[in-house]
């Protein structure tokens, strides 16, 4: 699987560089010069996004004993996101890091794992709602042709079904059932079988949380939805700095649909090529121009590089024990 992800990354990188070369480096540089010294403003929206998500994560840790500070959760989220996006672990390496970090801070393994798993499911469902909002805005503004919008509906359904299914199985003893199913076909690793009791404890913790803390789940869902709206503000700011202002509705729609493409390209580290290709194609479809879409995508990548670098630095300094 890791080899496959690395191969996909190499192919996507070549594709992306070829696409940018075709659009013209000189035209892209002209857009970049317009941003100039205002680039630090682009860092603020994602910082606020991570603040909201870190606060939601803390709310999914119901017991106050040994609960990390907001600042620690903020940094652990950054580190986890960096590991999820930059390592060939299919977006789960960062989650394992978060669990180990919480465990090192004195939080029981099952509670730490449950908080990470629950927030993952809620995050996906909030993304589905955000993408639906983007589609509705596209229709309301007549920003995309109906034929192009119809191509996005299956992608939304796939993402929504995956998120809803992931959330439902958490309340039905999925971990133990998965171990027994693998054991039935002779595919269960010995290490996984040895931890069956711990997995049963995790299943119990997940079921108890959904049963006893539904209000917390709903509040976390609201915070994640707010985080996505803030994420869309970044698009508004980028296009304004590029000298091509767009309205709020178009910014949210463009961001939601680009994020959908990035989510579906999770097999490639940082969704290289997939996210960028979606940004260019959607900008062209919104009559903004492919070159402007490429400039937007590259600038967003530079913002990502800053926060991901900070996340990697946090991960390197933390190094939780296994």
Cα–Cα distance measured from residue 97 to residue 315, given in angstroms and rounded to the nearest whole number = 8
Of the two residues 94 and 12, the one the predictor is more confident about is: 94
Give the model's pLDDT for residue 101: 92
Q: What is the mean pLDDT of the chain?
A: 83
The radius of gyration of the chain's CA atoms, rounded to the nearest angstrom, is 21
Torsion, Cα 235 258 93 105, to 10 degrees, reads 40
DSSP 88: S
Hey, how many other C-beta atoms are within 10 angstroms of the C-beta on 205? 19
Report DSSP state, residue 167. Answer: H
187-234 tens-digit pLDDT: 777 777 777 788 888 888 888 888 888 899 999 999 999 999 999 999
User: What's the pLDDT band for 84 if we cut at 50, 70, 90?
Assistant: confident
Q: What pLDDT is stored for residue 52 in this prediction?
A: 96
Instruction: Supply the DSSP string of 101-166, one letter for each residue.
Output: HHHHTT--HHHHHHHHHHHHHHHHHHHHHHHHHHHHHHHHHT-S-HHHHHHHHHHHHHHHHHHHHH
| Over residues 267-290, mean pLDDT | 82
Band (pLDDT 50/70/90 cuts) for residue 18 is: low
Band (29; pLDDT cuts 50, 70, 90) = confident
The reported pLDDT for the residue numbered 12 is 62
> In the predicted model, is pLDDT for residue 182 greater than 80?
no
Instruction: Tell me if residue 244 falls in helix, strand or coil.
Output: coil
Least confident window among 38-52, 124-138, 152-166, 171-185: 171-185
Q: State how far the Cα of 181 lies from the Cα of 265, in Å rounded to an integer.
A: 28
From the list 16, 120, 101, 129, the residue with the least C-alpha distance to 60 is 120
Closest CA to 76 of 317, 311, 319: 311
| pLDDT level of residue 261 (50, 70, 90 thresholds) | confident
What pTM was estimated for this model as a whole? 0.85
Question: Which pair of structure tokens corresponds to residue 161?
Answer: 């079904």
Question: Sorting pLDDT into bands at 50, 70 and 90, what band is 301?
Answer: confident
pLDDT of residue 213: 87
pLDDT at 243 over 80: yes
Mean pLDDT of 41-59: 93
The domain segmentation of the chain, as residue ranges, is: 40-318
66 or 226, which is more confident?
226
For CA atoms 136, 141, 143, 145, the dihedral sign is positive
Report the pLDDT averaged over residues 41-48: 91
Mean pLDDT on 33-58: 89
What DSSP string runs through 250-316? HHHHHHHHHHHHHHHTTTSGGGTTHHHHHHHHHHHHTTS-HHHHHHHHHHHHHHHHHHHHHHHHHHH
């Amino acid at each position: 699987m890791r080899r496959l992800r690395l191969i996909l990354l190499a192919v996507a990188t070549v594709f992306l560089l070829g696409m940018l070369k075709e659009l013209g480096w000189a035209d892209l540089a002209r857009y970049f010069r317009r941003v100039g010294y205002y680039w630090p403003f682009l860092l603020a929206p994602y910082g606020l996004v991570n603040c909201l998500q870190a606060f939601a994560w803390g709310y999914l840790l119901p017991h106050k004993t040994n609960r990390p500070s907001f600042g620690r959760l903020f940094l652990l989220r950054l580190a986890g996101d960096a590991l999820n996006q930059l390592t060939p672990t299919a977006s789960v390496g960062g989650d394992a890091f978060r669990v180990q970090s919480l465990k090192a801070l004195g939080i029981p393994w099952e509670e730490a794992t449950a908080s990470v798993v629950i927030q993952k499911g809620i995050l996906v469902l909030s993304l589905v709602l955000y993408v639906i909002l983007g589609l509705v805005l596209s229709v309301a503004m007549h920003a995309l042709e109906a034929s192009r919008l119809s191509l996005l509906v299956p992608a939304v359904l796939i993402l929504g079904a995956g998120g809803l299914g992931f959330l439902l199985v958490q309340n039905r003893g999925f971990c133990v059932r998965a171990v027994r199913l693998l054991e039935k076909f002779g595919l269960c690793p010995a290490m996984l079988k040895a931890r069956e009791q711990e997995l049963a404890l995790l299943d119990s913790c997940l079921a108890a949380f959904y049963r006893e803390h539904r209000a917390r789940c709903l509040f976390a869902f609201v915070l994640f939805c707010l985080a996505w709206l803030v994420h869309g503000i970044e698009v508004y700011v980028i296009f304004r700095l590029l000298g091509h202002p767009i309205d709020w509705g178009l910014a949210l729609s463009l961001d939601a649909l680009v994020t959908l493409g990035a989510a579906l390209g999770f097999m490639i580290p940082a969704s290289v090529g997939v996210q960028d290709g979606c940004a260019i194609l959607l900008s062209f479809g919104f009559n903004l121009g492919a070159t402007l879409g490429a400039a937007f995508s590259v600038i967003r990548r530079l913002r990502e590089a800053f926060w991901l670098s900070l996340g990697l630095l946090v991960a390197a300094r933390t190094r939780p024990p296994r």
